[in-house]
Chains A and B, each alone.
Chain A
């Protein structure tokens, strides 16, 4: 079992969700986070361009069994690249994916454990 944590652009959330649902990966947790990356984001504030110091991002957490890791990761990459509808080459700020080993998973309702609970 692995825990896939993806930090993506807020604007790509719907594209990623749609793609994941299409790939039959429907169990996800989404949260709003802020952080520093390489990206210099520019916003417009009362007619002035400003660079905020912390950039809002969306974090996805998906626990999967090992055979599903590749398809999940590839789906996220494909949909989260900011220019995925044009060239697919992406730009700075598209985000990162972290994969960590998942020790245990328990379904509270049934007390099932391990891969069956995911």
Chain B
């Protein structure tokens, strides 16, 4: 009986695939080779951020967990890509279903209907789909920083698959799909240029919820838990900075003025963030640490992510400074509150994202505000846009937080997400992968 049901489902799946094949053939639009070339480059740059993140996180954990932690990012490249091609693109960029909870378009399932499709800007839809797919990979990988060094690999894999389906895809649809409700909030939508709410706030909050639910690592905060390789963390941080140009400047999905604006804002915010973290730490602790510098780079980059399309360089630098200051204070607060957000996924991505998404309102360039005002016939004020931004941020926080809590609870009770004491003590590398990261340091 059960077997027959499965067969029916399979047959239905094949049928859906068959009828959805090749309906779109967009012959009217010419390919813009300049825009396409930049989008291809951006796609590669965003992908580069994921090994970058693996190195950044991998260097921050203890030796026994280095591979397990890097695998959190690498495994996401595998599983999230497959999920994205299968249903992710459809759920994010299809038309509203279930009252706009997420999107759906059967042409997008396995990307089967976009083989020859070219988008309005002259970019093949495959490129846009792959570019967006990289965001769906990095977001769950970011969460892993919050519960590093203490999760079961199998449970983690199940968690990111379900998180992608139930949190990332709906949020992405709300914010970036043309019929998403946050895309259409207010005069000209909630501003989230490259993923402040979709990527950083959602990952940060989810990380916080998971870290608190799963509990602290063994020995935290009494025993010092120190980075095994800060050199690798610095290289990873550098790759993230470079890759971020694809992340932000690529989000214009064109190759022109708005790309240049986003690129400049990105560099300005990263530099200002790094510099201010260094100064704050220098005054507070007496020394400017390397880890502090890269944390400042990340805080600045995260804060400018939602804003890159609408702020000018001075505004971007202010956001970078603000984000570094607030994130720095928040990490101090975390140490007082004693919850274990291992690699500060919430402290940097969550907080930086919230700072960026809210405070960008005060630095929006005039032409954007004029355009928004024209759309609603008359005045659209900064305060009204602020309301829209805060609404979008609150929705992302509540939605991602609640769904993550349910997922973590269910997965932990069924498959198990928190490592057992003995696996945690032996290390993720040995317990889940049967390998060691730095074997070459031994004479074998």
Contacts and interface: CB of A to CB of B under 8 A. Distances in A.
A109 interface: no
B150 to A, nearest CB: 13
Contact of B434 (A15, A43, A53, A54): A43
Contact of A11 (B421, B427, B443, B444): B427
Contacts of B441: 32
A1 interface: no
A54 B422 contact: no
A10 B444 contact: no
A32 B430 contact: no
B442 A54 contact: yes
Contacts of B444: 34, 52-56
A56 B435 contact: no
Contacts of B427: 11
A32 B443 CA distance: 10
A85 B442 contact: no
B426 A32 contact: no
A56 B442 contact: yes
Contacts of A11: 64, 425-427, 430
A34 B430 CA distance: 17
A94 to B, nearest CB: 13
A56 B434 contact: no
A54 B426 contact: no
B439 interface: yes
B422 A85 contact: yes
Given A32-B442, A34-B442, A34-B444, A56 B426 contact: no
B248 to A, nearest CB: 37
A15 B442 contact: no
A14 interface: yes
Contacts of B425: 11-12, 14-15, 18
A51 to B, nearest CB: 11
A6 B441 CA distance: 20
A72 B218 CA distance: 23
B334 interface: no
Contacts of B219: 18
A32 to B, nearest CB: 6
Interface in A1-45: 10-12, 14-15, 18, 32-34, 43-44
Top 4 nearest A-B pairs (CB, nearest first) are: A11-B426, A14-B425, A54-B444, A56-B442
